[in-house]
Amino acid sequence: MSASAPLSSKPVTVPDFLSARARGVRLTMLTAYDYSMARLLDEGGVDAILVGDSLGMVMQGNANALTVTLDEMIYHTRCVARGIRRSLLIADLPFMTYQLNPEQALSSAGRLVKEGGAHAVKLEGGVRSVAAVEAIVRADIPVLGHVGMTPQSVHRFGGFRVQRDADRLMRDAKAIEQAGAFAIVLECVPAELAGRITQSLSVPTIGIGAGVGCDGQVLVVQDVLGMYGDLHPKFVKQYADVGGQIRQAVRDYCQEVKAGTFPDATTSFH
Ligand code: KIV
């Protein structure tokens, strides 16, 4: 395992993902939606940055991701692309930009690459999304699949619920692998089942609420940093209280401006 090996400055590629398991390397992925966060995550050494349609919730304040548009995804992807030196950049295809037919899927994916600067795209669904994955991959745009609790299906599921139908999940993951995806996100799948699905695939799995048996892990960066309190999924581990630090910094700033102690001589022109 190279968990503590020094970071290479070489850009992470799709072939690096495909060979990760053979190299004994676990894959790291976080979301980002803007330049300065992307820059920090890239410098921190994350393998891939996902411009997730979760931006509908954490950036736009909506209850789910369904209203996010392709133009909004392109805008945020372009901002993130400017902050990246090493990480692989993956952008989500938002709801109803790939479901109509394979031509729509390819056209939407092409815009994320050409206008947004994405290296790869992600789309949700198993068997039902095979034709879309095939069309996009045929144009040499790498596709990250996403099965299990697919957030764009929130109304069908009746909420963000753990998915336990082993036969369906296995069938979905294999169909997406067969269609040409280079990796598959498994979301909210019991750990033992996610491990079994992973072992049955030759492409890597990236878990979120899917236990340690996946080949890698993805989380929403605002959850990791304690910057978004609207939801508290069981699978999140918070690594810092940046939200708390921001609130304290704002209180300090307001207090000093009101007291007349900022600006002072060192921050003024003479
Ligand atoms: O939209 C998103 O951020 C995602 C990941 C959390 C997997 O789909």
Query: pLDDT tens across 246-264, in order?
Result: 999 999 999 999 999 999 9
Say how far apart CA 8 and CA 228 lie, in whole Å.
31
* Whether 97 contacts 123, CB under 8 Å: no
- Rounded to 10 degrees, what is the CA torsion of 59, 62, 66, 67? -80
What pLDDT was estimated at residue 1? 40
* Whether 130 contacts 175, CB under 8 Å: yes
Which tokens hold the place of 208? 């979120």
| Integer CA distances (angstroms), 125 to 40, 54, 80, 86, 165, in order | 31, 16, 25, 28, 14
What pLDDT was estimated at residue 42? 98
Q: Tell me which residue of 195, 172, 209 sits closest to 220, measured CA to CA.
A: 209
Which residue has the CA at smallest separation from atom 1 of ligand 1?
52
What pLDDT was estimated at residue 232? 87
Q: Name the pTM for this structure.
A: 0.96
* Whether 69 contacts 109, CB under 8 Å: no
Which residue has the CA at smallest separation from atom 8 of ligand 1?
52
What digits encode the pLDDT tens for the residues 96-154?
999 999 999 999 999 999 999 999 999 999 999 999 999 999 999 999 999 999 999 99
Q: For the chain, which ranges sit under pLDDT 70?
A: 1-7
Residues 6+ apart with CB under 8 A from 72: 55, 94
Q: Tell me which residue of 148, 221, 138 sits closest to 184, measured CA to CA.
A: 148
Residues 6+ apart with CB under 8 A from 1: 24, 25, 26
CA–centroid distance, residue 155 to ligand 1 (Å): 17
Active-site residue flag, 187: yes
Q: Which residue among the candidates 72, 134, 177, 187 is catalytic per the annotation? A: 187
Residue 151 CA, closest ligand 1 atom number: 8
* Whether 196 contacts 207, CB under 8 Å: no
CA–centroid distance, residue 91 to ligand 1 (Å): 10
Residues 6+ apart with CB under 8 A from 38: 32, 49, 79, 80, 81, 82, 83, 84, 87
* CA angle, residues 170, 171, 175, in degrees to nearest 5: 115
Helices (H) and strands (E) in the chain, counts: 12, 8
CA–centroid distance, residue 103 to ligand 1 (Å): 24
What pLDDT was estimated at residue 230? 86
What pLDDT was estimated at residue 4? 46
Angle at which helices 166-179 and 191-200 pack, to 10 degrees? 30
Which tokens hold the place of 136? 């996009």
